[in-house]
Amino acid sequence: MNKTAKRLIFLSILLFTVSQLNAQQTMEYKKLTPEEERVIKYKGTERPYTGEFYKTTQKGTYVCRQCGAALYRSDDKFDSGCGWPSFDDEIKGAVKRIPDADGSRTEIVCAKCNGHLGHVFLGEGMTSKNTRHCVNSISMDFIPAQKEPATARAIFASGCFWGTEYYLSQAEGVISTTVGYIGGHVKNPTYKQVCTGTTGHAEAVEVVFDPSKTSYEKLARLFFETHDFTQVNRQGPDIGEQYRSVIFYTDDSQKAVAEKLAKQLQEKGYKVATKIEKAGDFYNAENYHQDYYEKSGGTPYCHIKREVF
């Protein structure tokens, strides 16, 4: 390998590292105690049978102690007798699995902040799901069901769903985002099928948000302000029906807001190509598409935020 190639590889690694650090700095983390740091940051383990959530049976949601991301639901918790809180399922996309260096176990970390949670074990036959997430209590906080915020759901399509999710996931009041497919005639389509342009689906993002912290209108405005809504069946270099601009409303109030904003833009002289359609079945995309830019450290190539209202 010549010096030029080595230099290019070094620069690529350096740029990726810097982007990852910048991404981490934008997240708001809770200040941890020394013992919390030992477990969450440095992959330690609390002593068995000592954690505050080992025997908890109250209804609610377990969240990451470092970043607050929702991890597990109480309905998936069970008593395995191992000395640590055990769950046989996680909230979709909330947990990442990383093989230990020795290959003997699989570590689990928070998908949002990479905080250490514990380990996952398969094939033990303890529940019908045959899975046990063995989690340190100190890695989690608990939100009782009666204190959980009321949530609402919105679905937007504006080209490649990586870029659409990038901006919506960072909006205040957004609890979670999921990329997927909607508006087509094939059940449970794959990315490969959607890319053929024959299934009728659009790449879209399902947003779950807290109405007490944001509004559907604010999210819809952000949708319009982060893509070129005048383009038909494309967004930047991405061309095809799956990249069309659509607001998929879930009720009449969302429809009214979408129509109002589209009219405002038309009155400003924009030729709005965005369609407003009733939401049908939403199919989650493959795991490698979820939170793509958060994982890669990159930024959208065809979505740019600008003021249009």
Percent of the chain residues past pLDDT 70, beyond the cut: 90
Lowest mean pLDDT among 12-16, 59-63, 137-141: 12-16
pLDDT of residue 21: 42
pLDDT of residue 14: 43
62: CB partners within 8 A, 6+ apart: 53, 70, 71, 72, 73, 74, 77, 85, 87, 135, 140, 141, 142, 143
Diameter of the chain measured on Cα atoms: 66
Report how far residue 218's alpha carbon sits from residue 69's, in angstroms, rounded to the nearest whole number.
Answer: 22
106, pLDDT greater than 50? yes
**Which domains are seen in the chain, by residue range?**
34-147 (2.170.150.20), 152-296 (3.30.1060.10)
- pTM for the full model? 0.59
Q: State the catalytic residue, choosing from 64, 113, 160, 302.
A: 160
101, pLDDT greater than 50? yes
Range 128-149 average pLDDT: 91
Phi, psi of 122, rounded to the nearest 5 degrees? -120, 155
Q: State the catalytic residue, choosing from 64, 110, 134, 302.
A: 134
- Closest C-alpha to 287, from 109, 99, 97, 130: 97
pLDDT tens digits along 160-210: 999 999 999 999 999 889 999 999 999 999 999 999 999 999 999 999 999
pLDDT band at 147 (very low <50, low <70, confident <90, very high): confident
Alpha helices in 108-214 (DSSP H): 161-168, 191-195
Range 51-58 average pLDDT: 94
Q: Is 160 an annotated catalytic residue?
A: yes
223, pLDDT greater than 70? yes
Report how far residue 135's alpha carbon sits from residue 20's, in angstroms, rounded to the nearest whole number.
Answer: 26
Q: Is 134 an annotated catalytic residue?
A: yes
